Amino acid sequence: MSKSVLVVEDEPNIIEAISFILSRDGWHVSSHSNGVDAVEVIRARAPDLVILDVMLPGRSGYDILRELRAGDGAGASLPVLMLTARGQTKDRALAEEIGASRFMSKPFSNAEVLEAVNALVAP
């Protein structure tokens, strides 16, 4: 059975790179590039994993993650890999504090992404 991932990211080259890496590994990849309605899209698609960029148009990844974690539905336990171009310690600390499953700075290697997503959905 194919695992599904939703990439919430506004940079087309990053979406393309992640889609390529994960599709080759058997993942079904979909993407969304707007922060405003990202929570609704995540809930509607119910992916096995979300890759969430911190800086999105309309709403930050931190705000999206806060809303996902605040509910008592599937979003509360959904694995979320956060991506950011700003890899400072305070960014990582904030992501962990609000419930990111894992945090990765850009640029990242293909192997890093693959290892992270597979670790997050491992039984």
Measure Cα distances from 13 to 8, 9, 82, 88, 91 in Å.
13, 10, 17, 23, 23
Which residues does 66 contact at the CB level (< 8 Å), separation at least 6?
Answer: 98, 99
The CATH number assigned to the domain holding 56 equals 3.40.50.2300
- Report the distance separating Cα 6 and Cα 45, nearest Å: 8
User: 56-103, pLDDT tens digit by residue?
Assistant: 999 999 999 999 999 777 788 999 999 998 778 898 899 999 999 999
User: 3-62, pLDDT tens digit by residue?
Assistant: 999 999 999 999 999 999 999 999 999 999 999 999 999 999 999 999 999 999 999 999
pTM: 0.95
What range defines the domain where residue 109 resides? 3-121
Q: Which amino acid is at 6?
A: L
Bridge partners, residue 28, by sequence: 4
How many domains in the chain?
A: 1
- Asked if 61 and 34 count as a contact pair (C-beta separation under 8 A), the reply is no
